[in-house]
């Protein structure tokens, strides 16, 4: 579940912005900074998601704090959600899904280049991209259509976030069960032939 830690800054932001945009941005920046430093100390590589989170939340916190404090919550959400959608899509376009590095932490090296591992990471990153696309669409509607209330934007965003988290938790379990089932069936066929 290391990938959930990678998305923790975004989750902090999503949960706290209804309380205070500034608080949500600064705490998301702090979370991103701590996670990035912790991971960099363990392995001196910088993940796209970590670097993107630190940069995005740091710049947005400074921009809304010192340059444009009157920026609306909907506008801030749109920038953040669209940025995370962009990170997910860029990683897919580069054929290096943002979830791959987190999978490396929990699986042996001989699995890293297998088609099943890569396919699973494309699916996980795709699920997050879909969630961010829904959030971005809700943000656009809230910013540009006066009849779409902020509360609907937040509700849609939290629902999409919840579904992305649930999928991220459930999908590896489903894969493991499916793989165990295939191994069991192969063992039964082998035993039956003997």
Residue 132 has a pLDDT of 97
d(CA 127, CA 172): 13
d(CA 28, CA 34): 10
Domain interval for residue 52: 2-193
Residue 130's CB is within 10 A of a number of other CB atoms, namely 16
Give how many domains the chain has, as a whole number: 1
Q: Torsions phi, psi of 145, nearest 5?
A: -120, 110
Residue 133 near residue 156, CB atoms below 8 Å: no
Residue labelled with tokens 């796209």? 48
Residue 105 has a pLDDT of 82
Residue 190 has a pLDDT of 41
What Cα–Cα distance (Å) separates residue 29 from each residue in 11, 32, 90, 109, 161?
11, 5, 21, 31, 19
Residue 183 has a pLDDT of 57
Residues of the chain with pLDDT under 70: 1, 181-194
Residue 100 has a pLDDT of 93
d(CA 83, CA 78): 8
Residue 194 has a pLDDT of 45
Residue 186 has a pLDDT of 45
Supply angle C-alpha 96, 38, 60, rounded to 5.
Answer: 70
């Amino acid at each position: 579940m290391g990938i959930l830690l990678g998305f923790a800054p975004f989750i902090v932001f999503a949960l706290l912005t209804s309380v205070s945009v500034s608080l949500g941005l600064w705490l998301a920046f702090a979370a991103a900074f701590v996670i990035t430093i912790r991971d960099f100390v363990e392995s001196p590589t910088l993940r796209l998601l970590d670097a993107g989170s630190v940069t995005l939340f740091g710049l947005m916190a400074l921009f809304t704090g010192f340059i444009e404090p009157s920026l609306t919550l909907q506008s801030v959400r749109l920038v953040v959600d669209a940025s995370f959608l962009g990170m997910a899509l860029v990683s897919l376009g580069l054929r290096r899904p943002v979830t791959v590095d987190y999978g490396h932490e929990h699986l042996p090296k001989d699995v890293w280049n297998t088609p099943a591992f890569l396919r699973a990471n494309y699916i996980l990153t795709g699920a997050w991209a879909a969630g961010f696309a829904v959030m971005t669409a809700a943000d656009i509607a809230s910013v540009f259509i006066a009849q779409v209330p902020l509360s609907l934007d937040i509700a849609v965003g939290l629902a999409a976030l919840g579904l992305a988290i649930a999928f991220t938790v459930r999908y590896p379990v489903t894969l493991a069960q499916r793989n165990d089932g295939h191994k069991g069936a192969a063992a039964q066929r082998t035993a039956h032939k003997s």
